[in-house]
A and B are shown apart, each in its own frame.
Chain A
């Protein structure tokens, strides 16, 4: 077949797809449709809901920022907001520290390395609700295995009220979050560590750098971009955490462990105040946006260095 015949038989679609811009557009269409349907539409709908007086089954009318004003004066909302920041901040620090430590350990050569790496991922793989139910039993007010163990070891003589005491309940949910989140950090940071050229470490060692100096001046700067991405994902997930708190405490005792998501759920679904629930959910947005913008800016800066 001659080249001229090929051009003559080519249809309009083929001709259009030959243009790079058009081809890119059509390749992006499925993603755009999915993002619009499942991200953009619910988000816009959520924003609209928060500006109305909608309750379950009643569309309501536009009320401006009234719902936001109402939740601003709501003491439980303020507790939930503070809890969310504390919960995210504390767990992120622990997850990062433990995850990095674990990644550094896993980066060494030892027997059964593949098995250990696979097992490390277990907390992350098991469905959250399932593993949290197991934790709920371990923190059970009456049958806690921790209490039993501490009592057998003569460490305590009265039961520890893991989920019934406000501070302990917060500590308990944070512990479970850290347990669940560390594998994600460890495996992601391990992947980052493995991209660092061992020659750099050798060169630093020849120059007389000790183990800490090699970590601080070689490993850490090279690992930073990966770390920032991992922290970014983790902060977003932790900030919007729901399942763990819902299963362990339901926001109790006396609202002491409510996060944005659990309180939004209680108000929106439990009490049927959909617009107020949407407003509580959206209150997360500015904080998350700031975190995302800062981290993306920082990552770009580090990469352009």
Chain B
């Protein structure tokens, strides 16, 4: 065993004392490190691309070491909550929808980064701004819109007389009823999950004329329009849906569609992209490649119009981060069109950038099936509509109150009681 002499001990302990006294690490350890946390992408190729190509390039260009970590999307909130409370953790955190509003007091002002991107690319979509701006400043840098469109089986809908996708909820219910009778129901989650549940239930409510609050933030949920939407949903669910959907998360519909147990589902294109990735694994009942029988369409119209709410992604820099400057440099670099484009193309349309300028990108011409996602960002509204998408709206969203209103009525009880319950919950949030 090597001898640890008194001289060596003094050298080491003296060095450590020096670091502690000056709060300065030795020169060789001074390269900035940015810890970036994102979800496990529904398009795994994009995470691979980031790890193997884009991030090494960023490190080289900026002289910043980037620790990239991916977690389940539903685990992003626990991570940021514990990080903020303990004052230590990742330097950049991806968040869903308007969740940044929950952490507005604990994240850095990123207006400089976001405004520069908006200025360089024209402007953000309205929904991108609503989700990430607290009325005074940007609290999160918009990253992408995960367009929500209905993926459906072209041939199955044609078999029941719908060569074109149903335009109204009534028609969709009719088609779904006929298809359910053939053992091919519509698949939709109304469970406690971040993506497909709210992006279905909120636009459904809006399309009947229901709203959580008015422009001034007054709770107006308990209305004739909302009750009508709930009444419609309970019958629609029984007539046309796979009733197991009440317990689904964001991945159940993918598995159900790919195994051909459902005819249609609201989806962020991951089903179609998976069928492209493994064309010989996923086949129709007639032996054709499944990808040839999938099309996408927007959610149907209701009495008050056609609406959408898309899952939205943005990045916050927590205020505790000691690497805010490097984190901002990195986000600016990532959003530079030449760098962002590589990631965007790898998504094959699953993610739509937050500015309209990308609608003109040639990637959209590669596959007409993905075309509806091109303009997804234009149509989306945000939670809390017609009021601001603020902390209260985020609270209602994370408590799943709107989704549960429909789920409660489906489970039994009157539509009026479900709406009254939800309105009561909203009042306790909005005051």
Q: Is A169 an interface residue (CB 8 A)?
A: yes
Q: B193–A57 contact, CB under 8 A? A: no
B77: contacting residue among A140, A161, A255, A269, CB under 8 A: A269
Q: Is B408 an interface residue (CB 8 A)?
A: yes
Q: Is B379 an interface residue (CB 8 A)?
A: no
A6 CB to closest chain B CB (Å) equals 34
Q: Beta-carbon contacts of B240-272 to A below 8 Å, as 1s and 0s?
A: 001111111100100110010100000000000
Known contacts A142-B255, A142-B256; A272 and B81 CB within 8 A of each other:
yes
A158 CB to closest chain B CB (Å) equals 9
A126 CB to closest chain B CB (Å) equals 21
Q: Beta-carbon contacts of B396-431 to A below 8 Å, as 1s and 0s?
A: 001110001001100100000000010011001000
A253: contacting residue among B85, B246, B255, B395, CB under 8 A: B246
A142: contacting residue among B246, B261, B407, B424, CB under 8 A: B261
Task: Name which of B99-107, B128-136, B166-174, B302-310 contacts chain A.
Answer: B99-107
Q: B247–A163 contact, CB under 8 A? A: yes
Q: Beta-carbon contacts of B19-44 to A below 8 Å, as 1s and 0s?
A: 00000000000000000000000000
Q: A249–B247 contact, CB under 8 A? A: yes
Q: Is B191 an interface residue (CB 8 A)?
A: yes
Q: A143–B247 contact, CB under 8 A? A: no
Tell me which residues across on chain A come within 8 A of B261, comparing CB atoms: 142
- Measured in the bound complex, the distance between the Cα atoms of B187 and A159 in whole Å is 14
How many A residues have CB within 8 A of the partner chain?
38
Q: B243–A164 contact, CB under 8 A? A: yes
Tell me which residues across on chain B come within 8 A of A253, comparing CB atoms: 190-191, 246-247, 407, 411
Q: Beta-carbon contacts of B102-135 to A below 8 Å, as 1s and 0s?
A: 1101100000000000000000000000000000
Q: A169–B85 contact, CB under 8 A? A: no
Q: B246–A252 contact, CB under 8 A? A: yes
Q: Beta-carbon contacts of A137-159 to B below 8 Å, as 1s and 0s?
A: 00011110000000000000001
A56: contacting residue among B85, B407, B408, B424, CB under 8 A: B85
Known contacts A58-B105, A270-B398; A254 and B407 CB within 8 A of each other:
yes
Q: A141–B244 contact, CB under 8 A? A: yes
Q: Is A202 an interface residue (CB 8 A)?
A: no
A269: contacting residue among B78, B192, B259, CB under 8 A: B78
Tell me which residues across on chain B come within 8 A of A166, comparing CB atoms: 411
The A-B contact count (CB < 8 A) is: 110
A75: contacting residue among B82, B242, B259, B421, CB under 8 A: B421
- Measured in the bound complex, the distance between the Cα atoms of B73 and A30 in whole Å is 40
Q: Taking CB as reference atom, which chain B residue is nearest A253?
A: B246
Q: B245–A164 contact, CB under 8 A? A: yes
Q: Which of B81, B244, B399: most chain A CB closer than 10 A?
A: B244
Q: A252–B247 contact, CB under 8 A? A: yes
Q: Taking CB as reference atom, which chain B residue is nearest A249?
A: B247
Q: Is B334 an interface residue (CB 8 A)?
A: no
Tell me which residues across on chain A come within 8 A of B82, comparing CB atoms: 269
Q: Beta-carbon contacts of B138-151 to A below 8 Å, as 1s and 0s?
A: 00000000000000
B18 CB to closest chain A CB (Å) equals 31
Tell me which residues across on chain A come within 8 A of B255, comparing CB atoms: 142-143
Tell me which residues across on chain A come within 8 A of B85, comparing CB atoms: 56-57, 274
Q: Is A273 an interface residue (CB 8 A)?
A: yes
Q: Is B84 an interface residue (CB 8 A)?
A: yes
Q: Beta-carbon contacts of A30-74 to B below 8 Å, as 1s and 0s?
A: 000000000000000000000000011110000000000010011
Q: Taking CB as reference atom, which chain B residue is nearest A267?
A: B399
Tell me which residues across on chain B come within 8 A of A249, comparing CB atoms: 192, 247
Can you sample 12 A-B contacts with CB below 8 Å?
A: A56-B85, A57-B105, A58-B106, A141-B248, A143-B255, A164-B245, A164-B247, A250-B192, A253-B411, A254-B246, A256-B411, A270-B398
List the interface of chain A (C-beta within 8 A of B).
Answer: 55-58, 70, 73-76, 140-143, 159, 161-166, 169, 249-256, 266-274
